[in-house]
Amino acid sequence: MKSNFFNFFTLIALITFSSCGDKAKEADTTKAKDAAVAESSSVSYAVDTDKSTIEWKGFKPTGTHNGTIALSAGKLNVIDGAVKYGKFIVNMNSIVVNDIPVEEEENAKLTGHLMSADFFNVESHPTSKFEVTGMETKEGKSMLSGNLTIKETTNNISFPVAVSLNEDTMTLTSEAFTIDRSKWNIKYGSKSFFDDLGDKFINDDIELKITLTANKA
C-alpha cells in the first residue's frame, strides 16, 4: 500500500504530505557548505538521545501522516548561547507512525514503506546526518544552518531555532519547517519527477520539528 505510506522524516523523513493548508515555511536550501570547526573556547554538549526527537509530518491530497524519528548520537559546541559547531545522527530504523494505531495493519505497512527503497532505503542507508555550518540572527530569529545528508545526497538547510542553557544542560528547539524531498532525490509519488500521477501524488514537502536535549560533556 505504497501510496498510503508516506504520505518523512511521508524523515528523516523523512514524511511529507497532506493537503496544502497549514504547512510550515520551507527551510532555505542551498548546496552543501564547509562544516563549522569547533573552537577551543566553546562548551561541548553531548546529545541525550533518550530525550531528543524529530517530529515529522507528510502530506497528500487525501490527508496527512505524522510521527517521530530518533537520534542515535550527537554533539553541539556552544559559545555565548550560540551553536558554533555540531553534528547529530538520525537513526532511520527508528521511524514511528503516530496517526495510525500501532495495532492496525496499516501502521506496519506505512512504516515499512517509508523504510523501503521507494523512500529512505533504510537497509542501505541506516542513518542520516546533520552537520552544523553556522548560526546567525536574521529578522530577530536565530537561524541554524547545516548540511543535511539523506541517503547519498547532501544539501545545506537553514531554519529558526531557540537555544536554552540551564546549568549543565542545553536544549535546542526548532520551529516547524519543511524540506523538499525531491532535492534529496526521493522520487516516489512526486510530481517533480512524474507527470502522470493525477491525484495519486504525494507532496514533496516534509515538515520537521527538532527538539534536542544535551548535557555538558
* pLDDT at residue 207, rounded to an integer: 97
Average pLDDT over residues 159-182: 96
Show the cell assigned to 97. 507512525
Show the cell assigned to 151. 541517503
Q: CB 181: neighbour CB atoms within 10 A? A: 32
Domain ranges of the chain: 2-216
* pLDDT at residue 14, rounded to an integer: 38
- pLDDT surpassing 70 at residue 194: no
**Measured between alpha carbons, how far is 21 from 141 in angstroms, rounded to an integer?**
24
User: In the 8-state DSSP scheme, what is residue 26?
Assistant: B
**Measured between alpha carbons, how far is 36 from 20 in angstroms, rounded to an integer?**
35
Q: Which alpha helices (H) appear in the chain, and where do they start and end?
A: 2-5, 105-115
End-to-end CA distance of the chain: 45
pLDDT tens profile 83-94: 999 999 999 999
Q: CB 66: neighbour CB atoms within 10 A? A: 20
Assign domain 2-216 one CATH number from 3.40.190.10, 3.30.2420.10, 3.90.1150.10, 2.40.128.110. Answer: 2.40.128.110
- pLDDT surpassing 90 at residue 20: no
The pTM of this model reads 0.87
pLDDT band at 191 (very low <50, low <70, confident <90, very high): confident
> In whole angstroms, how large is the CA radius of gyration of the chain?
17
**The residue type at 83:** V
* pLDDT at residue 62, rounded to an integer: 81
